Copies of this chain bind each other. A is one copy, B any other.
Amino acid sequence: MKKKKIITLLTDFGGNDFFSGVLKGVILNINPNVEIIDITHNISSFNIHEGALKLAWSYKYFPRGTIHVAVVDPGVGGGRCPLMVKYQNHFFVVPDNGILSYVLKENNNFKAVEIKEKKYMLKNISCNFHARDIFCPAAAHLSKNAKLKNFGPEIKKIQKIKIYESGQYEDEIHGNVVYIDKFGNCITNIENNLIKNKKIRIKNFYIKKISSSYEIQNVKSRANLLAIPGSSGCLEIAIPKANAGSLLNIKIGEKIIVK
């Protein structure tokens, strides 16, 4: 049996409206033999940074050849151009507004085109719903084996947004909380392999030992705070069965020091 192509969707359209459903109709109309998977439609409205992070954390778990439509697009209908990008055998169909900034953090070995070919778009292009009119149709045609180069002219440089990066300062590593998940766990940008046998500081809290689970094992800290090698590949700060983010009033960007 021929393997179905997969298209993933990541947007800030929310789940209350009908937008995400319409995207699937558009795709299935073009290619009925594609598997559509929602990453999430609940990116905070207009928050490109959050979309960029979640895309980078998700895409690798999908099979090679997967097509990722990621649309957080405050500039829809304006000057930003629609992109189709191939990177590490994954495809990305996105507005050129920085949403690939974390995906392309490691290197720039990508191939990108601007999506210009009208035959790969819906007939009527609206001002404000390019996910439906441009991005998803392009993804659906790509899943039917249309070639990257046929979608439009090659693009050499794509937009980046400022991302949080950790760094070494003498014997310390300085980083940031980059995301706080539903449980209040604070995900940082300091890689797990840098925290072995280290101590952690966040705000005025000191964590003296890295934990290996949320069940505290001989770890004492104020507020039951613990540090754990996170599933995203980076250090996380958490409180067992409680919401560390809100209890300690931690915000995105909060500084964290590993020593």
> Residues of A at under 8 Å CB distance from B?
1-4, 6, 8, 10, 13-22, 24-26, 28-29, 32-33, 35-42, 45-46, 54, 57-59, 61-63, 66, 74-79, 126-129, 132-133, 181-183, 185, 211-215, 228-231, 236, 238, 240-241
Docked pose: A230 CA to B229 CA in angstroms: 45
- Taking A74-B214, A129-B231 as known contacts, 11 extra A-B pairs with beta carbons closer than 8 A to each other, sorted by chain A number, are A18-B40, A18-B58, A22-B39, A25-B66, A61-B132, A74-B241, A76-B214, A77-B213, A79-B215, A128-B185, A128-B213
Q: Closest CB-CB distance, A217 to chain B, in whole Å?
A: 8
Across-interface contacts of A24 in B (CB, < 8 A): 37
Docked pose: A6 CA to B57 CA in angstroms: 26
A229 pairs with B21, CB closer than 8 A: no
Across-interface contacts of A29 in B (CB, < 8 A): 61-63
Docked pose: A215 CA to B25 CA in angstroms: 28
Across-interface contacts of A183 in B (CB, < 8 A): 45
Q: Is the interface of A mostly helix, strand, loop or mixed?
A: loop
**Highest count of chain B CB atoms <10 Å: which of A38, A62, A182, A229:** A182
Docked pose: A135 CA to B72 CA in angstroms: 31
B33 pairs with A21, CB closer than 8 A: no
Which of B14, B26, B54, B128 contacts A228 (CB under 8 A)?
Answer: B128
Closest to A43 in B: B16
B45 pairs with A78, CB closer than 8 A: no
Which of B45, B61, B75 contacts A182 (CB under 8 A)?
Answer: B45
26 examples of A-B residue contacts, CB within 8 angstroms: A4-B32, A13-B182, A14-B182, A15-B15, A16-B40, A18-B54, A21-B37, A21-B58, A22-B61, A25-B61, A28-B62, A28-B63, A32-B63, A74-B214, A75-B214, A77-B212, A77-B214, A77-B215, A79-B215, A126-B229, A127-B213, A127-B229, A127-B231, A128-B213, A128-B228, A128-B231
Docked pose: A212 CA to B128 CA in angstroms: 9
B32 pairs with A28, CB closer than 8 A: no
B63 pairs with A40, CB closer than 8 A: no
Docked pose: A40 CA to B16 CA in angstroms: 6
Q: Closest CB-CB distance, A133 to chain B, in whole Å?
A: 8
B3 pairs with A17, CB closer than 8 A: no
Which of B15, B17, B37 contacts A181 (CB under 8 A)?
Answer: B17
Docked pose: A46 CA to B182 CA in angstroms: 11
Closest to A4 in B: B32
